[in-house]
Amino acid sequence: MNSRSVLSQILRRYHQPTPTSAPRRLIDLFSSVRGFSSLPRVRPAVRPSSTAVSPLHGQCYGTTARRNSVLRWYHDPRKVAAATAITLSATAMAACSRYDREIVPCTNRSHRVVYFHQEERDLGDADFAVNKARFVILDPSDPRSIRACLVTERIVHAAHRGLGLYDSNDAPMLRVTRKWGAAAAPQPHASHLRALNWEVFVAENGTPEAVTAPSGKIMVSTGLLDHFSDEELAGVLAHEVGHVIARHRADISGCYPVFLERIMSRRMEIEADYIGILLLGAAGFHPQWALVQLAKGEKFRRLSVLEKFLSYHPKTEKRLQLLSQAKTMNEALELYREVTAMDKVIDRYFPYHVKV
């Protein structure tokens, strides 16, 4: 057999993929072509290890390949995105670490605020003025304005009493949400509510919506008043006041990247829902109205799939599920039963009193 036929056999043999690695096949090929030796080649024993054979290329991927994959982590877009997110978050936290840490009432969440009280109110008023200029505002003597003011007064009064601003010993909202070991825990921050000047404006707008500024300004649309009852309106306003109580405008989440800010914003909406349902019960409205207004409001939101995905609000189904939890509902019902029982006593012994 001449050398050309031997070489052809060798090439055909090594043309097919085998479980051996590519460098090993090249060495064997070089040795065979160089010496044309017919002696059997001694292959090194392969240790039984967790090497996987690629069904496409016949290459082995063992500990060496895994080690190389760790060294080349930057080739994986998911790992690069995760590392970038962690780095940006750590940078944002370090940049905002100089600001105060506060405890959110009712949820007892610890968060840092990036604005002082006056800064937060000024920024909120600036945004509110721009939004208010887009609509025609009804006169305060208009029946719809009076109706919105009366419901708002009940919610604000419940917030001040429930958080102990009238009397620190009379704070039912803090009582029902108190955790074990609360005596040693930091006290929730609610003193910023004392300096607020609550004002209600009714805008000529057919879309049911409400907007609240950190300074206490609230704008309610005529569409909300036309399609929602007083109880449902109270649920909307309680949610908006919940944002003010938790100081969401001054939260550190504003320092996060955009894609993380959306996640934090959805958590804030859930937190405002929880504070809002407690406010609703403390104001003498049945907590179930919070679920009714959420489900009803979803019918007026005509969002595409992409808009829902990019929305800063969580899905309505998730919000309803969280508010329907037994623990949350029982806390709100405790506040509701307490205030309604108090109203019955007052109505019996003081029948001519004027309710706030």
- pLDDT one-digit tens code per residue, 26-61: 455 445 544 444 444 445 454 554 444 444 344 444
Q: What is the pLDDT averaged over residues 52-71?
A: 47
**Cβ atoms 313, 269 nearer than 8 A:** yes
The pLDDT of residue 21 = 47
Would you kindly state where each structural domain of the chain is located, as residue ranges?
103-349
pTM flag (> 0.85):
no
Query: DSSP secondary structure string, 93-143?
Result: HHHTTTS-EEE-TTT--EEEBSS-HHHHHHHHHHHHHHHHTTSPBPPTTSH
pLDDT tens digits, 147-158: 999 999 999 999
In Å, how far are 24, 40, 100 from 182, measured between CA atoms?
Answer: 68, 80, 21
Q: Which residues pair with 251 in a beta bridge?
A: 113
